[in-house]
């Protein structure tokens, strides 16, 4: 047995044992509940504005590209999105626009990005569980999208995406048509993320925080894989341990929880986003 094989010893804790180890601390955090749909809408819009501010703080802005969306709780066939052309770092809850299934702005003011509607409209249509979706032209994500490969489970963080992301192999990088968005949504299937060939990353979640966190984490996983491969062929976590890790750090709850420190930081520093 070599030094790399030693990590696979037979008495390694089971997935159930690892989950039980986190139960006590995870139990101290609870997902929010709401008395009214209006309260839930306000919450989602505030988190969406915060998501854009988080993206801005991490340098995910590139001109007018990028969008995060969240489904409206009262009218679930509509979604909230950033108005086209506004810098992520300036967006507040009141700046957001609500868009219906035909691409019409039904609440708020500001232009709609046709690509945001073509992509996110079809993802929300195909995935009732996808409350939110996030996409931006982050540097490492778009660079990795040109490599033509999925991310490998080379770190604990990357294990969250193990067998739970796809490579969307389509060279129509500028999505403007409903049919193109529908093709992307079919390719995404039930997974949490997709690498869009020659384009970048897109993630989904049952909350804004989850979708935002998966995007942030996936971008960093792309960066980590580039760094590792620049030195040598990275060692990979074996499939069993990659799956057991994903069962803990790759769940919707884990995605929501991981984003909470980012939310607290951005809303503490920039409370104007709640306006």
Q: Is 127 exposed, middle or buried (0-12, 13-18, 19+ CB in 10 A)?
A: middle
pLDDT for residue 1: 39
Token reading at 239: 């499939």
Token reading at 153: 């489970």
Q: Helices 239-249 and 252-269 meet at what angle, rounded to 10?
A: 50
Ranges under pLDDT 50 in the chain: 1-10
99: helix, strand or coil = strand
HSE at residue 247, side-chain half, CA atoms within 13 A, is 16
Token reading at 2: 């070599």
Residues 6+ apart with CB under 8 A from 199: 137, 142, 145, 173
- Which of 138, 119, 141, 175 is CA-nearest to residue 61? 138
HSE at residue 17, side-chain half, CA atoms within 13 A, is 5
Beta bridge partners of 2: none
Residues 6+ apart with CB under 8 A from 209: 47, 51, 255, 256, 259, 260, 263
Look up the pTM and report it: 0.92
- Which of 101, 98, 67, 111 is CA-nearest to residue 199? 67
65: helix, strand or coil = strand
Contact 77, 51 (CB under 8 A): no
Contact 228, 244 (CB under 8 A): no
């Amino acid at each position: 047995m070599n030094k790399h094989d030693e990590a696979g010893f037979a008495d390694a804790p089971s997935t159930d044992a690892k989950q039980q180890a986190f139960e006590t601390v995870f139990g101290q955090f609870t997902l929010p509940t709401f008395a009214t749909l209006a309260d839930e809408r306000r919450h989602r819009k505030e988190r969406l504005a915060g998501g854009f501010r988080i993206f801005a703080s991490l340098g995910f802005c590139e001109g007018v590209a990028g969008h995060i969306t969240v489904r409206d709780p009262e009218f679930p066939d509509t979604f909230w999105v950033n108005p086209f052309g506004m810098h992520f770092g300036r967006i507040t809850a009141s700046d957001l626009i609500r868009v219906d299934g035909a691409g019409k702005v039904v609440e708020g003011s500001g232009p709609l990005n046709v690509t945001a509607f073509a992509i996110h409209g079809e993802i929300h249509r195909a995935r009732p569980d996808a409350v939110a979706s996030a996409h931006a032209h982050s540097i490492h994500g778009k660079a990795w999208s040109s490599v033509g490969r999925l991310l490998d489970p080379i770190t604990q963080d990357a294990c969250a995406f193990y067998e739970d992301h796809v490579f969307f192999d389509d060279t129509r990088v500028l999505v403007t048509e409903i049919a193109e968005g529908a093709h992307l949504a079919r390719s995404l299937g039930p997974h949490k993320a997709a690498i869009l060939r020659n384009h970048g990353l897109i993630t989904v979640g049952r909350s804004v925080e989850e979708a935002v966190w998966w995007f942030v984490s996936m971008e960093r996983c792309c960066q980590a894989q580039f760094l590792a491969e620049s030195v040598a062929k990275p060692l990979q976590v074996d499939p069993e341990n990659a799956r057991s890790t994903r069962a803990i750090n790759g769940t919707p709850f884990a995605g929501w929880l991981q984003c909470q420190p980012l939310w607290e930081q951005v809303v503490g520093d920039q409370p104007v986003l709640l306006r």
